[in-house]
Amino acid sequence: MKKKSVQTCLIHSDYTPPGGFGAFSPGIHHASTVLFENVAAMRSSQWKDKSGYTYGLHGTPTTFTLEARLAAIEGGSHCLLAPSGLAAIAMIDFALLKSGDDVLLPDNVYNPNRELGRWLSQDFGVTARFYDPMIGDGIAQLFQPNTKLVWAEAPGSVSMEVADLPAICRAAKAHGVLVALDNTWAAGLALRGFDVGADIVMHALTKYQSGGADLLMGAVITRERALNDRLAQAHMRLGYGVGADDAWLVMRGLPTMKLRFEAHDASARRVAAWLKARPEIAKVLHPAFEDCPGHATWKRDFSGAGGLFSVVFDARYTQAQIDAFVDALALFGIGYSWGGPNSLVMPYSMKAMRSRWDDAGLLVRLNIGLEDSGELIADLEQALARLA
């Protein structure tokens, strides 16, 4: 071929780096187009088959590597990445539900999951019904012939009730209904979803896996190939992709995740114990504390707790007073999410979020970050003084 012009040289290079490069950090592969060796290779390629590559959307070495590492944490065999935790939830619903089907969700479910259920009910001919998270094996009474999926989550990420997951999964299995577990709170560390009987385990990697409060991603993990294939079909049809840099950032977070989780856990228990002794606080909704519904279930099934818990204030405090307490905190940012290094605080209006909520006092959720717990307690103490 003729010598290439500068313009073409800017695009085509003959250089190939030597093979055999080894490093702990996996490479970051950016790609929409994936190149095929020849036409025959293109024709025989299968997007579903992770032994090869077809298009950036269906995976690169970076995303395949992250998927394998995430599946291993849960003891699963297959993993699909989604652009956010909520996108992972939507992938599961769209893969497994069709018009005429019924889905059950716990009344304390992650609120956007509830919103998606309502949308499916309103516009897609699916019925979404909400069950008492403490129902246990009583869920068997709710199954209809068209019930296809049960969502489970423990604890609820605001109200913190710990559901009896083994009982819910056993009842579902007996009725041939699939269980999808949102295991974001336990991160596959304090509880492994397949051990309690879930068929599908979903994570918001946005939280502990990332650990940086700087990206959004979700994962859907399964053990059975046929179930993974149904999910993968929805993944393809919905066009879910994740950026290579974000996938790499999650992998960078994984080696320290367990240590971070344990540090969050120890610090959160210290802060929660301090709050428990305060006269302003009516209840500490932390699964390791007896105030928390499902505490005994947590003790039986979980090995840890992480950094997230809620408190219910004494009923004498008004919303304006609670808001002033939240505003007075200096080390706690006012914001959604959790699992990052920074402590966060969020007041919730439970009566608006739940079909039934009996506590008269107002609820505030705390995410205990990685700051010094003594300094967090001092911050809470000065903010509580505003309530006097």
Ligand X SMILES: *Cc1c(COP(=O)(O)O)cnc(C)c1O
Q: Cis omega before residue 83 (within 30°)?
A: no
- Tokens representing 211 are 């650990």
At 35, give phi and psi (nearest 5°): -85, 140
Query: Shortest Cβ distance from residue 157 to ligand X (Å)?
Result: 4
Report residue 230 as tokens: 């149904």
Question: Residue from 66, 180, 204, 366 that binds ligand X (CB under 6 A)?
Answer: 204
188 binds ligand X (CB under 6 A): no
CB of 107 to ligand X, least distance (A): 14
Q: Does 90 bind ligand X (CB under 6 A)?
A: no
In this structure, what token pair is assigned to residue 75?
Answer: 């003891």
Q: Which of 216, 227, 236, 331 binds ligand X (CB under 6 A)?
A: 216
Range in contact with ligand X (rule: CB under 6 A) among 204-212, 229-237, 297-305, 345-353: 204-212
Nearest to 17 by CA among 27, 32, 25, 2: 27
Contacting range for ligand X; rule: CB under 6 A; set: 70-78, 84-92, 141-149, 245-253: 84-92
Which residues, other chains included, contact 326 with Cβ-Cβ below 8 Å and sequence gap of 6+? 332, 334, 345, 346, 347, 364, 383
Residue from 70, 81, 86, 380 touching ligand X (CB under 6 A): that is: 86
**Alpha-carbon gap, residue 76 to 193, rounded angstroms:** 9
Is position 353 an interface residue for ligand X (rule: CB under 6 A)?
Answer: no
Element (H, E) at 104: strand 102-106
> 3-class SS at 18?
coil
Please name the amino acid found at residue 146: N
Contact 185, 285 (CB under 8 A): no
Is residue 161 part of the contact set for ligand X (CB under 6 A)?
no
Q: What character string, x for contact with ligand X (CB under 6 A) and - otherwise, covers 93-122?
A: -----------------x------------
Q: Does 304 bind ligand X (CB under 6 A)?
A: no
Site string for ligand X, 247-276 (x = CB under 6 A): ------------------------------
Minimum distance between the CB of residue 139 and ligand X, rounded to whole angstroms? 19
Residues 256 and 241: their CA atoms lie apart, in Å, by 25
Instruction: Please identify which residue in 60, 62, 63, 84 interacts with ligand X, judged by CB under 6 A.
Output: 84
> For residues 95 and 282, which CB has a smaller minimum distance to ligand X in the complex?
95
For residue 365, give the DSSP letter.
E
Given the rule CB under 6 A, which residues bind ligand X?
Answer: 84-86, 110, 157, 182, 184, 204, 206-207, 216, 218, 337
